[in-house]
Amino acid sequence: MGREVTIVGQGLAGTCLAWRIWDRGRDFCLVHRGDRRSTSFISAGLLTPVTGRNLNPSWRLEEFLREARAFYQK
């Protein structure tokens, strides 16, 4: 039987996605080559909540924060 989902990369996003899929009892395959030049290694999963010259809120920030709160409280 094949995997339902294949996740390529185990940076912050790939790890969080794998956790959510595992938490729901789904089958997945996680592929990672361990490159130290990846964005999660360099920026440590940094989120910039405001951007640009006028310090505008990032796109879909409220949606992200709701999901992040639920994820980290679990």
- Global pTM? 0.63
Residue numbers of the chain with a pLDDT score lower than 70: 1-2, 36-46
- pLDDT score of 40: 64
- pLDDT score of 6: 96
- pLDDT score of 25: 94
- pLDDT score of 50: 80
Q: Are 11 and 41 contacting, i.e. CB atoms less than 8 angstroms apart?
A: yes
Round to whole Å and give the CA distance between 56 and 26.
37
- pLDDT score of 31: 93
- pLDDT score of 59: 86
- The encoded tokens of residue 42 equal 């360099």
Domain ranges (residues) in the chain: 1-43, 47-74
